[in-house]
Structure 1
Amino acid sequence: MNILDQIIASKKREVALKKSMIPIKQLEQSVLFERKTSSLVRHLLNSSSGIIAEHKRRSPSKSVINQSNSVEEIVTSYENGGASGISILTDNQYFGGSLDDLILARATTHLPLLRKDFMVDEFQVIEAKAFGADVILLIAAVLTRDEIKKLSALAKSLHLEVLLEIHNHEELQKSILPSLDLIGVNNRNLKTFEVNLNYSKQLAEHIPSEFIKISESGIDSAEAVSELQQYGFKGFLMGEYFMKSENPENEMKEFIKKLTL
């Protein structure tokens, strides 16, 4: 099995265990479950930079990225630095994240929060809402069209926005549904972890205009963002670039300043 297959197999076991222990009613009684969500779409449309900064401690491709700063420190730095939204990795086994990270981020910022995980079950969508997310990620490479339809419809019923991640034209074609809000092109091949920004450029013209276009992974310069903006991208999901910085706030301010020159 490639790394993506391994992650999904582990995730299905993890979710099955959680479902056996935690009743959905318990999640629905969470203080945050009735919270009014914040729109990532609106924030991106009102932003000149469109940066969605990510909290990510480690990854299968890069091992440790940042284990020293707290969630609160990172999230505060991102907000003060000018991020439009924040992505929180909640997978523990492969990325060192947790739902505690999401709830701590929610307590720290009013910016829209994306729960970034490998969503394979409706339970996780309800969980995302209960822990303070505003947006969920669905990965086309690991879901059928029916699964995308079911999970995105549930998300919309909970007033969560949906970011669908694609990597090629086939994934886009099978996935286009009115229950999506944002379509992200992952420049990293999830099976090999190789990165190429041309994935975003090649797929941009095929993404219908009603969806906000996001470019994900491998973005490490203001020049790259400026170039991708020419292809209609409004959001840029950046994890390692800011996460590994000693001063994420200043790094982001400098990055955004270069974009507006």
Structure 2
Amino acid sequence: MILDQLVQASQQRVQKVPVRERVKRIQQARKMTTPVLSFEAMLAQPGLQLIGEVKRASPSKGLIAAEFDYLQIAQDYVAAGIDAISVLTEPRYFKGQLSYLQAIAQTVSVPTLRKDFIVAASQIASARIAGASAVLLIVAILTPVQLQAFITLAHELNLSALVEVHTTAEIKQAVAAGARIIGMVDCKINPNAVRTKKISFL
């Protein structure tokens, strides 16, 4: 299953970074006072919000853009009136880089989302250091303890957490973990079937 391969690759990337460096990143992120654009506030605006995706490749389609001017793509999105930009940072299967996100976040005037397969707190810290406004957390690849800890850390770092779910059970798990933004993927779920406090559903 491709998701298992993506998670394994992400875990291997994290493990290659010395523990001391991972801890240093978290400590650095906790000390940051630089404000970030609010992804959550963007979603709360009246009307329809559009999120553009900056993606060089995918496991299903292979290489999408051989010449990948990610900054120009991001600027074109903003010029077209996009409300936020999602940046793929997974390097093996999506040919992404955290540096793409960092450069885009420094250039555009809309919130940015780090779209990756996050399995460690240091990845959330790295997103904050790079200037992201939000991170993607996938319920299916995290334990309940991890999910709650990662949502809490993201909020502590002034990042929004977009929590991806595929089933009603995962919605309930996300809500229990403190999610404020839930993205439903490849599923037929009625959000009204889950009684929650105010939450944004994508």
Q: Please give the TM-score of this superposition, normalised by the length of structure 2.
A: 0.90
* Partner residue, 1:203: 190
* Partner residue, 2:58: 59
Q: Which amino acid aligns with 1:37?
A: V
Q: Which has the larger radius of gyration?
A: 1
User: Partner of 2:47: helix, strand, or coil?
Assistant: coil
* Equivalent-residue separation in structure 2 for 1:98 and 1:21 (angstroms): 22
How far does the alpha carbon of each residue in 1:179-231 deviate from its partner, in whole angstroms, 9 at most, with x for none?
322100012xxxxxxxxxxx25x3332353511111xxxxxxxxxxxxxxxxx
2:76 equivalent to 1:77: yes
* Partner residue, 1:87: 86
* Equivalent-residue separation in structure 1 for 2:135 and 2:84 (angstroms): 13
CA distance 1:69–1:7, shift in 2 (3 Å) = closer
Q: Please give the TM-score of this superposition, normalised by the length of structure 1.
A: 0.71
Q: How far is the alpha carbon of 1:69 from its aligned partner?
A: 3.5
* Equivalent-residue separation in structure 2 for 1:206 and 1:57 (angstroms): 36
CA distance 1:138–1:71, shift in 2 (3 Å) = same
Q: How far is the alpha carbon of 1:137 from its aligned partner?
A: 0.7
* Equivalent-residue separation in structure 2 for 1:113 and 1:146 (angstroms): 26
Q: How far is the alpha carbon of 1:59 from its aligned partner?
A: 0.5
Where does structure 1 lack aligned partners over 5 or more consecutive residues? 188-198, 215-261
Q: How far is the alpha carbon of 1:66 from its aligned partner?
A: 2.1
* Partner residue, 2:12: 13
Q: Which amino acid aligns with 1:203?
A: N
CA distance 1:209–1:27, shift in 2 (3 Å) = closer
Q: How far is the alpha carbon of 1:170 from its aligned partner?
A: 1.8
2:135 equivalent to 1:153: no
Query: What root-mean-square deviation, in Å, do the aligned CA atoms of Structure 1 and Structure 2 show?
Result: 2.0
Identity, % of aligned positions: 29
* Partner residue, 1:100: 99
Q: How far is the alpha carbon of 1:37 from its aligned partner?
A: 1.6
Q: How far is the alpha carbon of 1:47 from its aligned partner?
A: 5.1
* Equivalent-residue separation in structure 2 for 1:19 and 1:85 (angstroms): 33
Q: Which amino acid aligns with 2:69?
A: S
Q: Which amino acid aligns with 2:124?
A: V
User: Partner of 1:150: helix, strand, or coil?
Assistant: helix
What pairs with 1:204-243 in structure 2 (closer than 5 Å)? 204-207=191-194, 208=196, 210-214=198-202
Q: How far is the alpha carbon of 1:68 from its aligned partner?
A: 1.8
User: Partner of 1:179: helix, strand, or coil?
Assistant: coil
Checking the alignment, whether the CA contact within 8 Å between 1:51 and 1:85 is kept in structure 2 is: yes
* Partner residue, 1:256: none
User: Partner of 1:34: helix, strand, or coil?
Assistant: coil
* Equivalent-residue separation in structure 2 for 1:42 and 1:183 (angstroms): 14
Checking the alignment, whether the CA contact within 8 Å between 1:162 and 1:179 is kept in structure 2 is: no
CA distance 1:109–1:27, shift in 2 (3 Å) = farther
Q: How far is the alpha carbon of 1:165 from its aligned partner?
A: 0.1
Q: Which amino acid aligns with 2:193?
A: H
* Partner residue, 1:41: 40
* Equivalent-residue separation in structure 2 for 1:149 and 1:127 (angstroms): 18
Checking the alignment, whether the CA contact within 8 Å between 2:22 and 2:122 is kept in structure 1 is: no
Q: How far is the alpha carbon of 1:76 from its aligned partner?
A: 0.3
Q: How far is the alpha carbon of 1:46 from its aligned partner?
A: 2.1
* Partner residue, 2:183: 184
Q: Which amino acid aligns with 2:92?
A: Q
CA distance 1:84–1:174, shift in 2 (3 Å) = same
Checking the alignment, whether the CA contact within 8 Å between 2:174 and 2:182 is kept in structure 1 is: no
* Equivalent-residue separation in structure 2 for 1:169 and 1:23 (angstroms): 34
Q: How far is the alpha carbon of 1:71 from its aligned partner?
A: 1.4
